[in-house]
Amino acid sequence: MPLVIAAFVSIYIIWGSTYLFNKILVAEIPPFLLAGIRFVVAALIIFAIAFVRGKLRAIPKTQLLNSALAGFLFLTVGNGCAVWALQYIDSSLEALLISAQPLILLIMLYFLEGKPIQAKSMIGVTLGILGIYLLVSQGEVNAGPHKWWGIGAVFIALICWGYGSIFVSKADLPKNSFIKSGYQMLFGGGMMLIISILIGESTAGLFTMSDRAIYAMIYLIIFGSIVAFTAFNFLLLTVSPEKVATSTYINPIVAMILGWWVLGEIITNQAILAALILLTGVYFINSTKAQKSI
């Protein structure tokens, strides 16, 4: 139980702060190049540590392929779209939109696995939809012609994370959460770098990074990737996907505070109201008895 609690604290707080650091970095480095480097470097560090500890082992082909698919869903498309979106929307808005993940996951479980939506969860779904509507209908959002591209990218990320959570909870993957994270980050980050090359992202920003950007990259590699993603994979094996998805209940609060404090992002009254409604909906979904409890 202490390990589970520590893992939840990790994905709640650390991932809540990654919106800020990604926003800082994407201003200097193209999104797929940034995220690709972050995860490939993190994977290499993981494998180096595992090698020194004598834990690095070859894994079966099935686990290798499943790791590649999980890395593609979670990182290449999921994280890639989320980082790409930060070029057009504030970190706090993105975090609030991503807090709808439990809602998206609940709906996906209904359509993909026939899992019934209980009455209490239905209230959560209704509140979640209302909260999302209030968020995207703000004048500040509609005023920006490119912000809808960012919002659309976030919803693609939500769908990929939702399907990835369902897939990973049943797939044959390495049992060691640390090693499993390494393989997923290596494949996911590697595919991001390929995409970066294919779409012609410039590497010039890597040679002119500010000190703030360098510190942000180090933080994302060590804490945002190695620590938090390992905790995420551990939790997917320990608790239900719905419980893991509730990290989005705390993440937006952390992201909103940091975005306002460090970047001076404006938090409107409508955004606050939308956040309260949306997070209340997440609470109703989270408090519904899941098939597998902590």
State the sign of the Cα–Cα–Cα–Cα dihedral 114, 116, 122, 128: negative
Positions of the chain with pLDDT under 70: 139-145, 241-242, 245, 248, 286, 288-294
What pLDDT is stored for residue 101 in this prediction?
Answer: 84
Establish if 88 belongs to a structural domain. yes
Establish if 280 belongs to a structural domain. yes
Cα separation of 227 and 213, whole Å? 20
Establish if 293 belongs to a structural domain. no
Establish if 292 belongs to a structural domain. no
- 40 to 9, 45, 164: CA distances (angstroms): 24, 9, 19
pLDDT in tens, 195-217: 999 999 999 999 999 999 999 99
What pLDDT is stored for residue 291 in this prediction?
Answer: 42
Q: How many helices (H) and strands (E) does the chain have?
A: 16, 0
Minimal CA–CA distance to 243: which of 279, 274, 288, 278?
A: 288
Tokens of 132: 């999302």
Cα separation of 75 and 71, whole Å? 5
Q: How many domains does the chain divide into? A: 1
**Phi, psi torsion values for 4, nearest 5 degrees:** -65, -45
Establish if 237 belongs to a structural domain. yes
What pLDDT is stored for residue 125 in this prediction?
Answer: 87
What pLDDT is stored for residue 140 in this prediction?
Answer: 61
**Phi, psi torsion values for 288, nearest 5 degrees:** -75, 135
Establish if 110 belongs to a structural domain. yes
Domain hosting 183: range is: 2-287
Establish if 195 belongs to a structural domain. yes
